[in-house]
Chains A and B, each alone.
Chain A
Amino acid sequence: MNNGSKPLIHLEDVTKVFLTDEVETHALSGIHLDIKDGEYVSIAGPSGCGKSTLLSILGLLDTPSGGSYSLKGSEVANLSFPERARIRNREIGFIFQSFNLIGDLTVYENVELPLTYRGMSSGDRKSAVTQALERVGMGHRAKHLPSQLSGGQQQRVAVARALAGKPAILLADEPTGNLDSRNGEAVMELLRELHAAGATICMVTHDPRFAQNADRTVHLFDGRVVEDNRIAA
């Protein structure tokens, strides 16, 4: 921080406690994490250690129980619902394990959806959507419905949807979990390309092979960061 390059994401002592049936689950305890602009971070750890919870907080889907979270230098932990929705829409791009394309909408409409929520004009939307689809190599499938695509193709569309709005960071929760290894590799290749072109990515993955793609792997265990490996400078 003294060198003047402020981190894109700064988590300080973030905790998350779930209360269910009077049982407290400490999903995250005292997380410190900085992610810089242009970084490619992978998050690893056994099932139930809090990876998805961390991603939800990063993506402003959930609020931390304690600690502070600043995104692009401003505190976002306690924003109102509409403010959080606005930031999700502009700064965050989500990629889910199960693709989560909306079945009633075409490929084009799925990618267009976050731009619609932004109130972008239809002309601007069109160029952004086309560009994003070209980028993931799905331009020729714009009019298809998700059910007409293979899993790998669906996940590429999901990536296009995540990056169409030019977000500050892409958040991916086990993006290859539902894909066979060939399709999984293709998606990982796509992410690597995006990163090479300057995208900031934070990805949860079990697979050590894919974790190697990242600049850095953060290991979680029982809600704590136990290891933070920088692979290359």
Chain B
Amino acid sequence: MWNDIRFGARMLVKTPAFTIIAVLALALGIGASTTTFSVVNALLLKPWPYIQDQNRLLYVSEYFPKVSSEHDNGVAYPDYLDFKKQATTLEGFGTTTAATMILSDGEKPDRYLGAFITADAFSFLGVQPILGRIFRADEDQKGATPVALLGYEVWKNHFGSDANIIDRVVTINGKRVTIVGVMPKGWRFPEACDLWMPLQVEEKENARGNFNFACFAKMKRGVSIEQARAELEAIGTRIAADNPQTNSGVSVRVRFFREEAVSDAKTLTLLLMGAVLFVHLIACANVANLLLARGASRAREIGIRLALGAGRRAIIRQLLAESLVLAVVGSALGLILAVWGIDLVIRAVPVEMPYFIRFDFDWRVFSFSLALGLGSAVLFGLFPALQASRPQLVEAIKEGGRSGIGGGKGQRVRNGLVVAEVALALVLLVGAGLTLRSFLKLQATDIGIDPSHTLTFRVGLPPTQFKQEDAGRFFTALIPQIASIPGVESSAATTSLPASGNIGVSALILEGEAEPRQLQNARLAHGLAITPGYLATCRIPLLRGRDFTLADNKDSQRVVLIDELAAHKWFPHTDPIGRQLAMLEKLGEPPKWATIIGIVRNVVYDRLTERREFPCVYAAQYQNPEWFMSVMLRTKTDPAAFANFARAAVLAVNKEIPIYKVKTMDQVMVESFWERRFFGTLFTVFAGLALFLAAIGLYGVMAYSVRQRTQEIGVRMALGAQAGDVLRLVTGHGIRLVASGLAIGVVFAFFLTKLLQGNLEGVSVHDPLSFGVVSAVLLIVGLLACYLPARTATQLDPVRALRYE
């Protein structure tokens, strides 16, 4: 075998053009596949760091099938306690809520995303601290000493990796808290948190019917998810029977935690993996074609070997050894391309990824690329080897002109491979075309505001530290400060930024309506609070009535603005202005009525990829202040340049309050559909690669065919064929191949694009424009790929062509 490999390498070195093209095609295929595989690996395969027995970890939520079978509501706290107490299939049951945590001991306050979490969660998750201890099970009880765990980065950056940090008392959200431990590097459970405190829940504020807590659980060893699900559903049914007002119509959802965490990206990632394997198949088809041509031109060498008594098996082994060398070199180069590709992928993600998604190389990625390389060697090498070692072929070659010239041996297989390449490329290009069109549509979406020249940031007062009046005073003082920065046209604050998806759904009633027993039967709307000037800052047209003013404060009659959709839906026949509505904040509290004073144009607050058609109700921030808001400032020049002025303005109002999530509105828009852009870009890159490889393949086959048909072309010229006749002969052959590929590809694309359903906005999976343009592009590229060899054919010297061979 070693000898075969050495000889194979020598043969490859002897034909550098062939070797370089084959290795490059393989490297592109393997590089792209490995890059994509590292995404699949990160999302679906790689175990999460520090969590033990992650395959026993579940995600649990409650939802109303009647409202939406897709949207989860979270678990009500009393329900959570029941599940935790009664479940026998579970070894742990926990919940967590993210919260802004401000560390204010240093020179300037630092804001982190922290998590309040069930005290025993870390212990059943199995993570160990690098310093100190994790929470004790009783530390989430009322009256326990406030304690916190530090994330590795906070420990390093905020506390200078202080080894004596344990038992230090620090200020978090204005409270004195004892640090009991430091978590290991990279641990940011549940997604991107840097600080943890035990979750203490006010039971009276979280009565049954308030579905607020996303839960996770760990199954006991040997329990299946079906058993756990059945038990939790049974408990849920029991709760509903005991509490029909709050819990009838409530279902329990139980999924694997990992599945829940990656569900959004899973389909697209797998589709991408499929697409990239198509690219690789095209590359393999190219190499197979090159090998077939090479086998034909080596027929004599092989014939001699067979004549000298070499067995067919020895010949095949020899030829496969060559493929193996190609594959190994291709894989090595592909791995290098993948390192670079993965870097590009990481940089193409504009948002913070959950800590458990890590794209870096591991043995899985490495084995994948090696296995792909070796598998491909067999895939592209075996058939040509079988073909070349066929003794009949040798006979045929010896016979020479006996059976007529032209045609070319093995042409049918080579043609078939090119047809397959074109078909695969078409499928990919259609996929790319669709994702690209969808992405462009999203980018052009009118979200109802003018996002240009606008800077946004998040700021707020921790509710554990500040009273509601403090929050009101803070924003009343802040907004004029910001607006007075030179270069700022106007400024305002809102609880939810347009297109950010950071918005909830609230229940409400109109005047004269009874309060519904359950949220699932209520009128639903997006509810948000804004300060006066928000409409002007966002350039949202006021269609009727009046905007909020500073006079709409806690002493005045409550007022709201609604959007067109609300007006249309709730007041189809009457004038909404002057009518009353009440948002239902917590079930059981008396409704707070507010008067509708104006109607504004619709604005999209959902992420553009997850739009829901809910009406909008705007409340006046200064009548019922919120603690956290997004401040927006419209600037005359580049908005990004105003971040430092904004930060200074906030510190001038309260020197302990940091700002965070500083972004231009354009950035917010981009993040609103970044996955589409991400997958669209990758799809397009891969489709471009497929097109390129298919074009090379077509070119190779045509060039080879012209070489094989040299004599035939010479004869045709002798018989009086004009240049145009020869051109038609060759391109005709190529176009037939391309057309067959297109026809097959369109049929496959028609069915395969259905997999994109649900991941396209505003474009049908059978969008005729995408299908048409893509087919035209392929046809033109195919023509070009045929044209070069065809032109060579017309320039043949007939005398030489007739002497050929």
Contact = CB atoms under 8 A, between A and B. Distances in A.
Given A56-B799, A61-B798, A147-B403, A102 B723 contact: no
B329 to A, nearest CB: 35
A138 interface: no
Contacts of B799: 56, 61-62
A82 B722 contact: yes
A102 B720 contact: no
B405 A161 contact: no
A42 interface: no
Interface centre among B401, B407, B721 (most CB of A within 10 A): B401
A221 interface: no
A100 B722 contact: no
A81 to B, nearest CB: 7
A84 B723 CA distance: 11
A100 B402 contact: no
Interface in B708-744: 711-712, 715-723, 725
A108 interface: no
A137 interface: no
B401 A89 contact: no
Contacts of A142: none
A118 to B, nearest CB: 7
B752 interface: no
Contacts of A6: none
Contact of B718 (A59, A81, A145): A59
A180 interface: no
Nearest to B401: A98
A86 B719 CA distance: 9
Nearest to A94: B718
B802 A145 contact: no
B404 interface: yes
Interface string B759-786: 0000000000000000000000000000
Contacts of A50: none
A94 B714 CA distance: 12
A113 interface: yes
Given A56-B799, A61-B798, A117-B725, A103 B405 contact: yes
B801 to A, nearest CB: 9
A64 interface: no
Interface residues of B, number: 23
B406 interface: yes
A100 B802 contact: yes
A21 interface: no
A114 B401 contact: no
Given A61-B799, A62-B799, A114 B404 contact: no
A113 B802 CA distance: 17
Contact of B403 (A82, A88, A90, A103): A103
A104 interface: yes
Nearest to A100: B715
B717 A146 contact: no
The size bracket of the interface on A is 20 to 34
Contacts of A113: 716, 719
A194 interface: no
Contacts, number: 82
Contacts of B798: 61-62
Interface centre among A90, A92, A102 (most CB of B within 10 A): A102
A103 B721 contact: no
B717 A147 contact: no
Interface in B394-409: 400-407
A114 B719 contact: yes
Interface string A38-66: 00000000000000000010010110000
Given A61-B798, A61-B799, A89 B403 contact: no
A85 B405 contact: no
Contacts of B723: 81-82, 85
A154 B718 CA distance: 18
B492 to A, nearest CB: 77
Nearest to B411: A104
Contact of B406 (A59, A62, A103, A154): A103
B722 to A, nearest CB: 5
A147 B720 contact: no
Contacts of B720: 85-86, 88-90, 92, 114, 117-118
A81 B726 CA distance: 13
A117 B404 CA distance: 20
Contacts of B404: 99, 101-104, 145-147, 154
B717 A101 contact: no
A117 B719 contact: yes
Contacts of A56: 799
Contacts of A210: none
A88 B718 contact: yes
Contacts of A101: 404-405
Contacts of A86: 720, 722
A104 B407 contact: yes
Contacts of B403: 103, 146-147
Interface in A64-95: 81-82, 85-86, 88-90, 92, 94
A107 to B, nearest CB: 10
A109 to B, nearest CB: 11
A61 B719 CA distance: 10
6 contacts: A61-B802, A81-B723, A100-B405, A103-B403, A145-B404, A151-B402
Q: Which 7 A-B pairs have the closest CB atoms?
A: A89-B720, A103-B404, A146-B404, A147-B403, A114-B719, A98-B401, A103-B407
Given A88-B720, A117-B716, 19 more contacts: A59-B718, A61-B718, A88-B719, A89-B721, A90-B720, A100-B802, A101-B404, A102-B407, A103-B405, A103-B406, A113-B716, A114-B719, A114-B720, A117-B720, A117-B722, A117-B725, A146-B404, A147-B404, A178-B401
Interface of A: 56, 59, 61-62, 81-82, 85-86, 88-90, 92, 94, 96, 98-104, 113-114, 117-118, 145-147, 151, 154, 161, 178
Interface of B: 400-407, 711-712, 715-723, 725, 798-799, 802
